[in-house]
Amino acid sequence: MITDITLGQYIPGNSILHRLDPRTKILLTFAFIAVVFITENIIGYVLIGFLLALLIKMSGIPFKFILKSLKPIYFFVIFTALLNLFMTGGKYIVSFGIFHISREGIILAATMALRLIFLVAGTSLLTYTTSPIVLTDGIEALLKPLEKIKFPAHELAMMMTIALRFIPTIIEETDKIMKAQSARGADFDTGGLIKKAKAMIPLLIPLFISSFRRADELALAMECRGYHGGEGRTKLKELRFKKLDLTAFLVFTLLAALCIFVGKFNLFYI
């Protein structure tokens, strides 16, 4: 049934990664992405791969979930790798017909593929260990300084919160209206594009109307509960950096420095 989807990828747990402050995790994820891009050679990638494997182990997230998160990019990874493999110039090692493979090509293909895999695996580790709500809190807190230049950090976070809350409700409602119109002979599956688009009208109009009604009622309910924007608002769960976060920053900095040092400067002349 359409209503049975799980939201986000969060897998509850109590590992060190789960317990870190969301801000720490978001910042470190960005740092990780930077390290991946700075790194240029195979040894560096091996190190990053090792680091990533360690983090996955620590998070307690089953490895198959990480593989699952890579599923949508398999095609993209293979495509980029092939493109780099055949399109990179240099000294050809193998040639057949119009296809030539050079040493540089192999290295570039491997690098690009690994970069993509690391990026996706790294960020999915963030979403696997952080609930959407906590993530929203983290984003809000990190964007807070930007409110000085009129950036609507609180509003953005509130929108994300409400979206998270209402997505399951609206999905359920879509299912219901779809069934109700099907009972009147609506056909959402057959016919050409135009017929299909037309068939959507009896679904979309009730959905729009009900969403507006919901928004209206929600706004009223929020007002009645004293909502007046982000100003002067406090939180049930204040974000607080703990000793664990400091440790995480330090450990990560050391490891990142190592990766960059090894990965950027070709120490072993490979």
Partner 1 sequence: MDIKTENLSHIYMPGSPISHVALDNINLEIKNGSFVGLIGHTGSGKSTLIQHFNGLLKPTSGKVLLGGKDINESRETLKQLRFKVGLVFQYPEYQLFDETVEADIAYGPKNMELTEAEIKERVFEAINYVSLDEALLKKSPFELSGGQRRRAAIAGILALRPEVLILDEPTAGLDPKGRDDILSNISRLQKERGITVILVSHSMEDVAKVCESVIVMNKGTVAMQGSVRDVFRESETLKKLQLNVPQITQLVLKLRREGYNLPDDIYTTDKAFEEFLKLIKKSPNQKGSVG
Partner 2 sequence: MIEINNLTFTYDTCREPALDGINLTIKEGEFVAVLGHNGSGKSTLAKHLNAILLPSGGTVYADGINTADIKRLAELRRLVGMVFQNPDNQIVASVVEEDVAFGPENLGMPSEKIRERVDYALKTVGMYEMRNMAPYNLSGGQKQRVAIAGIIAMQPRYIVFDEPTAMLDPKGRQEVMQAIKALNSEQGITTVIITHYMDEAAEAERIVVIDHGKVIIDDTPRMAFANVALLKKLGLDVPQVTELMFRLRGEGIALEYNKLTVDECAEELKKALKKQV
Q: Interface with partner 1 by CB under 8 A: which residues?
A: 1, 4, 173, 176-177, 179-187, 201-202, 205-206, 209-210
CB of 15 vs partner 2, minimal distance in Å: 18
Q: Which of 235, 243, 269, 270 binds partner 2 (CB under 8 A)?
A: 235
Q: Which of 19, 179, 233, 242 binds partner 2 (CB under 8 A)?
A: 233
Task: Note whether 172 binds partner 2 by CB under 8 A.
Answer: yes
Task: Note whether 164 binds partner 2 by CB under 8 A.
Answer: yes
Alpha-carbon gap, residue 107 to 42, rounded angstroms:
8
List the single partner that 112 binds among partner 2, partner 1, none, CB under 5 to 8 Å by kind: none
Residues near partner 2 (CB under 8 A), total: 30
List the single partner that 223 binds among partner 2, partner 1, none, CB under 5 to 8 Å by kind: partner 2
List the single partner that 179 binds among partner 2, partner 1, none, CB under 5 to 8 Å by kind: partner 1
Alpha-carbon gap, residue 259 to 25, rounded angstroms:
19
Q: Could you tell me which stretch among 50-58, 101-109, 165-173, 197-205 binds partner 2 (CB under 8 A)? A: 165-173
Task: Note whether 1 binds partner 2 by CB under 8 A.
Answer: no
Alpha-carbon gap, residue 3 to 195, rounded angstroms:
26
Q: Which of 78, 94, 155, 169 binds partner 2 (CB under 8 A)?
A: 169
Residue 169 is which amino acid? T
CB of 110 vs partner 1, minimal distance in Å: 37
Q: Could you tell me which stretch among 80-88, 120-128, 196-204, 228-236 binds partner 2 (CB under 8 A)? A: 228-236
By CB under 8 A, what part of segment 74-103 binds partner 2? Answer: none
DSSP letter string over the chain?
-GGGPPPSS-----SHHHHS-HHHHHHHHHHHHHHHHH--SHHHHHHHHHHHHHHHHHHT--HHHHHHHHGGGHHHHHHHHHHHHHH--SSEEEEETTEEEEHHHHHHHHHHHHHHHHHHHHHHHHHHHS-HHHHHHHHHHHHGGGGGGT--HHHHHHHHHHHHHHHHHHHHHHHHHHHHHHTTT--SSSS-HHHHHHHTHHHHHHHHHHHHHHHHHHHHHHHHTT---STT---SS-----HHHHHHHHHHHHHHHHHHHHHHTTTT--
Task: Note whether 222 binds partner 2 by CB under 8 A.
Answer: yes
Task: Note whether 207 binds partner 2 by CB under 8 A.
Answer: no
Binding site for partner 2 (CB under 8 A): 7, 132-133, 161-162, 164-165, 168-169, 172, 213-214, 217-218, 220-228, 232-238
